[in-house]
Structure 1
Amino acid sequence: MAVSERGYDPTDVKSIVEYSHKLVGKTLREVTDAPELADPHRRRGSFGNAVEEYFFKYPINSDSAPDFADAGLEVKATPVKEVRRGKKKELVAKERLVLGKIDYNAVVNETFETSHVMKKCSDMLLISYLYEPDKNPVDYVVEAVAEWGIPQKDLPQVRADWETVVNKVRAGHAEDISGSDTMYLEACTKSAKGSDRTSQPFSEVPAKPRAWALKASYMTAVQRKIIDGTQEIPRSEAEKDLDLLTLVKKRFDPYVGMTAEELQDRFALSRSKSVTARITNCILGVRDNSEIEEFAKAGIKPKTIRLKRNGTPKEAMSFPSFDYFKLLERDFWRSDFYGYMQQKYLFVIFREDEEEKDVYRLASVMFWQMPEADLEEACRCYEQMRANVRAGRAEDSVKSTENRCCHVRPKGRDGNDVRLQPYGEPVVKKCFWLNQKYLAGEIARGLR
Structure 2
Amino acid sequence: MEYQTKDELLSKAKEAEGKSFTELDKYNRLGNINAKGALGQVIEESFFEYTVNSEARPDFENLGVELKVTPFKRNKNQSLSAKERLVLNIINYIEEVNTTFDTSSFWKKNENLLLMFYEWQPNVDRQDFYIHKSILFQYPEEDLEVIKQDWKTIVEKIRNGKAHELSEGDTNYLGACTKGSNKSSLRSQPFSEIKAMQRAYSLKQSYMTSLVRKYVNQEELISFAKVEELKAKTLEEILTERFAPYIGLTDLEIANRIGIEYKNKSKAFVANIISALLGIKGTKLDKIAEFTKANIQFKTVRLEPTGKPKESMSFKNIDFQEWTSESWEDSYIRNLFFETRFLFVVFEYTETKEQNPNRKLFFKGIKLWNMPYSTIDNEIKQIWEEVNKLITEGLQISHVKRGKKIVETNNLPKSNFNGVAHIRPKGKDGTDKVMLPNGQSITKQCFWLNSTYVAEIVSN
Offset of residue 274 of structure 1: 2.3
Question: Which residue identity is paired with 2:303?
Answer: L
1:18-97 equivalent positions in 2, closer than 5 A:
18-31=11-24, 33-35=26-28, 37=30, 42-84=34-76, 88-97=77-86
In structure 2, what is the equivalent of residue 6 of structure 1? none
Equivalent of residue 344 in structure 1, options 324, 341, 346: 341
**Residue 274 of structure 2: SS of its match in structure 1?**
helix
Change (3 A) 1:102 1:237: closer
SS, match of residue 52 in structure 1: helix
Whole-Å separation in 1 of the counterparts to 2:174 and 2:349: 36
The residue that corresponds to 2:428 in the other structure is: 413
Q: Quote how far apart the aligned CAs of 1:318 are.
A: 0.7
Which shifted more, 214-223 or 265-274? 265-274
1:433 matched to which residue of 2? Answer: 448
Q: Normalising by structure 1, report the TM-score.
A: 0.88
1:337 Cα shift?
Answer: 3.1
Q: Distance in 1 between matches of 2:243 and 2:349?
A: 18
Deviation at 1:173, TM superposition (A): 2.5
Give the C-alpha shift of residue 327 in structure 1: 4.1
Separation (CA, whole Å) in 2 of partners of 1:321 and 1:37 = 38
1:380 to 373, 379, 382: 382
Question: Quick one: which amino acid aligns to residue 434 of structure 1?
Answer: L
Matched residues in 2 for 1:135 and 1:282: separation? 43
Q: Which moved more, 1:321-330 or 1:302-311?
A: 321-330
CA spacing shift, 1:273–1:442, aligned 2, 3 Å = closer
- Judge conservation of contact 1:33–1:54 (CA < 8 Å) in 2: yes
Q: 1:4 — aligned with what?
A: none
User: Relative to 1, partners in 2 of residues 1:246 and 1:419: Cα closer, same or farther, differing over 3 Å?
Assistant: same
Residues 325, 293 of structure 1: CA spacing in aligned structure 2 closer, same or farther, 3 A cutoff? same
C-alpha separation in 2, matches of 1:28 and 1:48? 10
CA distance in 1, matches of 2:182, 2:391: 31
Aligned to 1:295: 291
Partner of 1:10: 3
Q: What is the CA-CA distance between 1:259 and the residue it aligns to?
A: 2.6
Farther-moved stretch of structure 1 (146-155 vs 277-286): 277-286
Matched, 1:160 2:154: no
Deviation at 1:326, TM superposition (A): 4.1
Q: How many angstroms apart in 2 are the aligned matches of 1:39 and 1:133?
A: 19
Question: What is the Cα deviation at residue 113 of structure 1?
Answer: 1.9
How many Å apart are 1:72 and its aligned residue?
1.7
User: Among 153, 160, 163, which residue is 1:171 paired with?
Assistant: 160
Residue-by-residue CA offset, 1:368-408 (whole Å, 9 max, x unaligned) = 22222112321222332343344143541321112221111
Following the alignment from structure 2 to structure 1, what is the Cα–Cα distance between the partners of residues 226 and 52? Answer: 45
The counterpart of 1:232, out of the listed 222, 235, 238, is 222
Correspondence list, 1:284-363, <5 A: 284-290=278-284, 291-330=287-326, 332-342=328-338, 343-353=340-350, 358-363=359-364
Q: How many equivalent residue pairs?
A: 434
Aligned to 2:254: 263
- 1:267–1:279 CA contact under 8 A, matched in 2: no
CA contact (8 A) 1:121 1:150 kept: no
Counterpart-to-counterpart distance in 1, 2:430 and 2:30? 53
Amino acid at match of 2:223: I
**Are residues 361 and 230 of structure 1, via their aligned partners in 2, closer, same or farther at CA, if it must alter by over 3 Å?**
farther
| 1:389–1:192 CA distance, 2 compared to 1 (3 A) | closer
Q: 1:180 to 1:425 in 2, by over 3 A?
A: closer
Q: Residue 419 of structure 2 corresponds to which residue in structure 1?
A: 404
1:425 Cα deviation after fit: 6.6
Alignment check: 8 A CA contact 1:299 1:344 kept: yes
Change in 2 beyond 3 A, CA 1:400/1:19: same
Deviation at 1:332, TM superposition (A): 4.7
CA distance in 2, matches of 1:119, 1:437: 46
Shift of 1:324: 4.3
CA spacing shift, 1:230–1:262, aligned 2, 3 Å: farther
User: Is there any run of 5+ residues in structure 2 with no aligned partner, and where?
Assistant: 398-408
Deviation at 1:256, TM superposition (A): 1.7
d(CA) in 2 for partners of 1:324 and 1:176? 29
- Is the contact between residue 145 and residue 227 of structure 2 (CA under 8 Å) also seen in structure 1? no
Structure 2 counterpart of 1:393: 396
CA contact (8 A) 1:28 1:34 kept: no
Tell whether the 8 Å contact from 2:303 to 2:347 is kept in structure 1 after alignment: yes
> Of the candidates 252, 255, 268, which is equivalent to residue 243 of structure 2?
252
The question of 1:223 aligning with 2:231 is answered: no
Contact 1:38 1:46 in 2 (8 A): no
Question: Equivalent pairs: percent with the same residue?
Answer: 34
1:145 counterpart = 2:134: yes
Q: Using the TM superposition, give the Cα deviation of residue 325 of structure 1 relative to its aligned residue in structure 2, in angstroms.
A: 4.2
Aligned mates of 2:245, 2:60 — CA distance in 1: 49
Residue 413 of structure 2 aligns to which amino acid in structure 1? V
Q: State the Cα distance separating 1:438 from its structure 2 match.
A: 1.6
Change (3 A) 1:256 1:132: same
Instruction: Report the Cα offset of residue 221 of structure 1.
Output: 1.2
Distance 1:206 1:331 in 2: 23
Q: CA deviation at 1:434?
A: 0.6
- 1:133 shift after superposition: 5.2
Q: Secondary structure at the match of 1:37?
A: helix
- Which amino acid is 2:52 matched to? I
Instruction: Answer whether contact 1:230 1:292 (CA < 8 A) is retained.
Output: no
Amino acid at match of 2:267: K
Partner of 1:5: none
Shift of 1:155: 2.1
Alpha-carbon distance between aligned partners in 1 of 2:31 and 2:255, rounded to the nearest angstrom: 55
Structure 1 residue ranges without an equivalent (≥5): 2-8
Paired residue type of 1:276? V
Deviations 1:205-246 (A, max 9, x none): 322222111111111112112133232324456524232111
